[in-house]
Structure 1
């Protein structure tokens, strides 16, 4: 099993020698609303899912050399194309860069090739504050029976979040990955940090006590590193909690996200009224919007009720989950406290592992809204 500290030492020693030299971030600025809207119009309506193949439990298992599965990815993305999806949101991890940057970039390029073959543009997520704060390279643990997302890991991990030496590795990772695709229009965009201020209450006992403070320091730097590459794709980081509409009441993380994103992204698992209320907070900002997480059936957030709202307003839409698998996100969030083996209603995910729809009616709605029901 690969030992992260040994690899990390080598990565730090290498420094930035293998990373393209970025432009000074001071030379570059956040996209204007006009540029953001021009980009958005060129995409058409963006609709898809948060994507991880059913045989991977987390970001590491999806992209590590021993478990990267192009055949499975191709099969599942073919299903996505069949129902009219044109984009997927895909999580990466800094340890993949530490482990083997050249190999990781080859696998990432392969993923983009496969997605492009199916007319699907990935929105890549670089960092993530959700779930287990202690990621490890190598073989990932098996799913915990009856528990939602039992193997998902944060990026960066708690031990690196406050380490000033590791910031060079993080910068190297951001600049290296974005530079690889900075002119590639097959890539939709860059979601720089998922739910950066999520406290991950499930792991409260092993979370850093200063997590929010460290993330608040890092997030503007991450935007600066990404901006220095000057990619043709927009940068974003999605708000998910707190007050969004009133600048005087926003928390620091929300302020950073909304002030620095080229396009506004957000998460909402609310019912239609709650969803409309969130849109009312964001619409006055006059930027394109992507809802990068929605659909929690037991909370009233469903394909039938929420997706038509987004189609009508040309808001990018990403349901959580696609094919049910090792992440077990068809189980509810509270299965962490009370494991559930066979829920009466799935929480997330659209397809069974064998490729059949969980609910045929949902897939019919998606196909109708994306035009896949119309004859060629």
Structure 2
């Protein structure tokens, strides 16, 4: 065995040991943290000028002017948090530059009274991420440039894991005591097979099941004051541990605060929310709102407000991600005629609301006390 392999094996063995990590928050600690927060309301945020995580964060395309303008829109309707995706390859190519730009983003967000939930890894869309200049959007297709992290090749190559360890520890450790950071969403939809028209990664779930606990250990080892989480997104029996797969069991048993996704009708949202609350921890919904799928602001937000569940919808300003278009655009691109109803997004490219009644509702709910749904004016 070479010296490099011996070193790598030792580091992996060390980082896999939960004894080196801070403990999962107790339920009491989690509720104490949640009690200090306002009712969390916000969006999953990518500036309109970026097609994906790389265009958002790379030095050549980082766009603080657009970020400032768009977070100003968020503040104007009462939003107080944004969920923002990073990528391990951004750190690998320019760790100091990434952290500098993260700090700049946090400065801009703080000016608008917005805190950030950072996402470190993601199992959705293109499994073959490439850094540098990104391809243009595919006409008429939803989220056509989004990249998985770490990506199929790196996920299957355990020699890369020491880099993942460095990425997690450095990024989380740098901002571990930063009040501008709401929390750390360690892996978006980790057991998702990818979506779109991409080739699926064989045995992907098995690789993620082995890696995700290590990601929790690495993040916890730098003792962040913010909560760690990774959210459930599929299934109907989340409150029955015996029905969860290995990935989902890690998500439930290691998260300080529980998170979930729901893009369905309000009745389904409430059912899933109750299942998540059954574990006795605070619950935040980190993805919802797909109008054509039955998930809407006016249907779901009042339910969540009554249940004191934080909410972050997918999409914000219409732009290069093209997520105003529905998921089925991967099968039938909307190149000739756009859909009548936008799937995601809150604002048009010019900064006007897609639907004024929606932004009025968000503002009204954001301004009312926790658990209180004010009557419509």
Instruction: Please give the TM-score of this superposition, normalised by the length of structure 1.
Output: 0.91
Aligned equivalents of 1:222, 1:116: Cα separation in 2: 27
Distance 1:310 1:280 in 2: 11
Alignment partner, residue 163 of structure 1: 157
Query: 2-side partners of 1:25 and 1:75: how far apart?
Result: 42
Relative to structure 1, is the Cα distance of residues 267 and 23 closer, same or farther in structure 2, using a 3 angstrom cutoff?
closer
Match of 1:287 in 2: 281
Report which stretch shifted further, 126-135 or 334-343.
334-343
**Cα 1:357/1:197, change in 2 over 3 Å:** same
Match of 1:214 in 2: 207
Structure 1, 362-371 or 260-269: larger mean CA deviation: 362-371
For 2:127, what is the secondary structure of its paired residue? Answer: coil
Which residue is 2:11 aligned to?
A: none
> Which range is displaced more, 125-134 or 241-250?
241-250
Q: Deviations over 1:62-103 (max 9, x none)?
A: 000100011110110011001000000000000100111111
Query: Does the 8 Å contact 2:261/2:287 carry over to 1?
Result: yes
Who is 2:294 aligned against? 300
8 Å contact from structure 1 (residues 23, 228) kept in 2: no
Q: Pick one of 361, 364, 373 that aligns with 2:360.
A: 364
User: After the TM superposition, which residues 19-38 of structure 1 pair with which residues of structure 2 at under 5 Å, given as runs?
Assistant: 25-27=18-20, 28-38=22-32
Match of 1:6 in 2: none
1:262-305 deviation digits (Å, cap 9, x = unpaired): 00000001101111111221121110001000001011110001
Two-structure CA RMSD over aligned residues (Å): 1.9
1:94-133, aligned counterparts within 5 Å?
A: 94-133=88-127
Which of the numbers 186, 193, 218 marks the counterpart of 2:187? 193
Q: Is the 1:216–1:253 contact (alpha carbons within 8 Å) kept by the matching residues of 2?
A: yes
> Alpha-carbon deviation of 1:202?
2.5
CA distance in 2, matches of 1:284, 1:101: 39
Rounded to whole Å, the distance in 2 between the matches of 1:300 and 1:314 is: 21
Instruction: Kindly state the Cα deviation for residue 24 of structure 1 after the two structures are TM-superposed.
Output: 7.3
Alignment-derived partner of residue 266 in structure 2: 272
Work out the CA distance in 1 between the residues paired with 2:208 and 2:114: 31
Say which SS state the counterpart of residue 202 (structure 1) adopts. coil
Q: Equivalent residue of 2:312, what SS? A: strand
- 209, 213, 221: which one aligns with 1:228: 221
C-alpha distance in structure 2 between counterparts of 1:345 and 1:201, whole Å: 22
Gaps (5+ residues) in structure 2? Answer: 9-13, 369-373
Q: What is the TM-score when the length of structure 2 is the normalising length?
A: 0.91
**Is the contact between residue 133 and residue 203 of structure 1 (CA under 8 Å) also seen in structure 2?**
no
Q: How many residues align?
A: 355
Contact 2:16 2:214 in 1 (8 A): no
Moved over 3 A (4+): 21-25
Give the superposition deviation at 1:210: 1.4
- Segments of structure 1 that go 5 or more residues without pairing to the other structure are 1-11, 16-20
Q: Could you say which residue in structure 1 is the equivalent of 2:351?
A: 355
| 1:238 maps to 2:231 | yes
